[in-house]
């Protein structure tokens, strides 16, 4: 953004809401047609887009700022996998904040730490099983046991429809403790999916 002297400076924010596009499997209750059209391939396609948006959000976040990452999806590929990859790439510059003491009357469940992935043909437990699959990427898999201890994905918030007569929602609060400029430059492969 140009300043009055004609020089460009980066605009930073102390708070960012990163409500990314998602497959919407958490809205099936209010939109039953979504159940017929939802599939894992669409969630896998969105994973890269979600990761790019969330990474950019963290780049624009000021040090000591907070970013909320949210979706109306329940698939961990669109939720905890994104958070795990952000924490992995940030290398300690970003932390997941525990909000379990906030809104005590809100019925919720903690984030998940393990999941399997399907490409529509078979199920995969980790990235070593994938081989030459064109539909599954490494960042969609759960973190290792060692990473799980460090990332503490249980701090994520999952709101399930049956808990309080709502739609489903995923929320994670991230705090940026130090600069991460340059650490996200590796980018995400966006042309990995072949329909």
Residues in the chain: 195
User: Could you give phi then psi for residue 67, rounded to 5 degrees?
Assistant: -125, 130
Rounded to whole angstroms, how far apart are CA atoms 78 and 80? 7
Q: Which of 18, 22, 48, 72 is catalytic?
A: 72
C-alpha span between 183 and 85 (Å, rounded): 12
Q: Round to whole Å and give the CA distance between 164 and 32.
A: 18
Question: If you ran DSSP here, which 8-state letter would residue 187 be given?
Answer: -
The token duo for 8 is: 């460009």
103: left (phi over 0), alpha (psi -120 to 50) or beta: left
Tell me, yes or no, if 22 is annotated catalytic: no
Distances (CA, A) of 125 to 72, 102, 143, 175: 24, 34, 11, 30
The DSSP H or E segment spanning 118 is strand 117-118
Active-site residue numbers?
Answer: 72
């Amino acid at each position: 953004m140009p300043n009055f002297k004609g020089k460009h400076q980066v605009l930073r924010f102390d708070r960012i809401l990163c409500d990314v596009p998602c497959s919407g499997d958490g809205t099936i209750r209010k939109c039953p047609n979504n159940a017929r059209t939802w599939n894992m391939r669409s969630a896998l396609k969105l994973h890269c887009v979600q990761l790019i948006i969330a990474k950019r959000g963290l780049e624009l976040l000021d040090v000591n700022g907070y970013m909320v990452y949210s979706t109306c999806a329940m698939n961990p590929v669109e939720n905890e996998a994104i958070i795990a990859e952000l924490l992995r790439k940030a290398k300690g510059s970003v932390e997941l904040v525990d909000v379990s003491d906030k809104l005590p009357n809100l019925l919720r469940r903690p984030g998940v730490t393990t999941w399997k992935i399907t490409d529509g043909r078979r199920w995969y437990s980790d990235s070593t099983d994938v081989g030459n699959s064109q539909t599954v990427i490494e960042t969609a898999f759960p973190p290792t046991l060692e990473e799980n201890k460090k990332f503490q994905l249980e701090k994520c918030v999952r709101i399930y429809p049956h808990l309080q007569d709502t739609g489903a929602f995923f929320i994670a609060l991230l705090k940026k403790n130090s600069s991460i400029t340059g650490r996200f430059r590796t980018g995400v492969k966006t042309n990995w999916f072949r329909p």
